[in-house]
Structure 1
Amino acid sequence: MTELFTDTVLNMMTTTAEPEDYTGEDGLLYCSKCRTAKEAYFPKETAAWLGHDKHPTECDCQREKRLECESAEERRRHLNTVMELKRRGFTDLTMQEWTFAHDNGKCPQMSKAHLYVEHWEQMRENNYGLLLWGKVGTGKSYFAGCIANALMEQEISVRMTNFSAILNDLTASFEGRNEYIEHLCRFPLLILDDFGMERGTEYGLEQVYNVIDSRYRSRKPLIVTTNLSLTELQNPQDTAHARIYDRVLEMCLPILFTGKNFRKETAQAKLNGLKELLK
Structure 2
Amino acid sequence: MNGLTDTILKMMDTTQEPEDYKGEDGLMYCGKCHKPKEAYFPQGKELFGRDRHPSECDCRRAERERLEKKESEKKHSDEVERLKRDGFTDPAIRHWTFGNDNGNCLQIEKAHFYVEHWETMKSENIGYLLWGNVGTGKSYFAGCIANALMEQEVPVCMTNFAMILNNLFTSAEGRNEYITRLCAYPLLILDDFGMERGTEYGLEQVYNVIDSRYRSNKPLITTTNLTLEQIQHPQDTAHARIYDRLLEMCVPVCFTGGNFRRVTAQQKMHRLKKLMEGGESQ
TM over 0.5: yes
Deviation at 1:10, TM superposition (A): 2.0
Deviation at 1:239, TM superposition (A): 0.4
TM-score, normalised by the number of residues in structure 2: 0.96
Partner of 1:42: 41
Partner of 2:118: 120
* AA partner of residue 141 (structure 1): S
Alignment length (residue pairs):
277
Partner of 1:205: 203
* AA partner of residue 90 (structure 2): D
Deviation at 1:12, TM superposition (A): 1.1
Q: What SS does the aligned partner of 1:50 have?
A: coil
Within 5 Å, give how 1:20-39 maps onto structure 2.
Answer: 20-39=19-38
Within 5 Å, give how 1:1-279 maps onto structure 2.
Answer: 1=1, 5-44=4-43, 46-47=45-46, 49-173=47-171, 176-279=174-277
Distance 2:207 2:181 in 1: 16
Deviation at 1:173, TM superposition (A): 2.4
Distance 1:157 1:261 in 2: 31
Distance 1:174 1:16 in 2: 58
Distance 1:138 1:57 in 2: 60
Render the CA deviation track for 1:183-241: whole Å, top value 9, x for unaligned. 00000000000000000000000000000000000000000000000000001110000
Deviation at 1:248, TM superposition (A): 0.3
Q: What SS does the aligned partner of 2:218 have?
A: coil
Deviation at 1:57, TM superposition (A): 1.0
| Maintained 8 Å contact 1:160/1:193 | yes
* AA partner of residue 178 (structure 1): N
Partner of 2:280: none
Distance 1:203 1:163 in 2: 12
Deviation at 1:278, TM superposition (A): 1.1
Deviation at 1:165, TM superposition (A): 0.3
Indicate the percent of aligned positions where both proteins have the same amino acid: 66
| Maintained 8 Å contact 1:44/1:53 | no
Q: What SS does the aligned partner of 2:174 have?
A: helix
Deviation at 1:106, TM superposition (A): 1.0
Distance 1:7 1:171 in 2: 63
Q: What SS does the aligned partner of 1:236 have?
A: coil
Distance 1:66 1:175 in 2: 46
Render the CA deviation track for 1:107-130: whole Å, top value 9, x for unaligned. 110001001000000110100110
Q: What SS does the aligned partner of 1:247 have?
A: helix
Deviation at 1:21, TM superposition (A): 0.4
Structure 1: segments with no counterpart, 5+ residues:
none
Deviation at 1:11, TM superposition (A): 2.0
Structure 2: segments with no counterpart, 5+ residues:
278-282
Deviation at 1:174, TM superposition (A): 6.8
Cα separation, partners in 2 of 1:95 and 1:175, compared to 1, 3 Å: closer
* AA partner of residue 11 (structure 1): K
| Maintained 8 Å contact 2:44/2:51 | no
Deviation at 1:19, TM superposition (A): 1.2
Distance 1:127 1:187 in 2: 13
| Maintained 8 Å contact 2:128/2:253 | yes
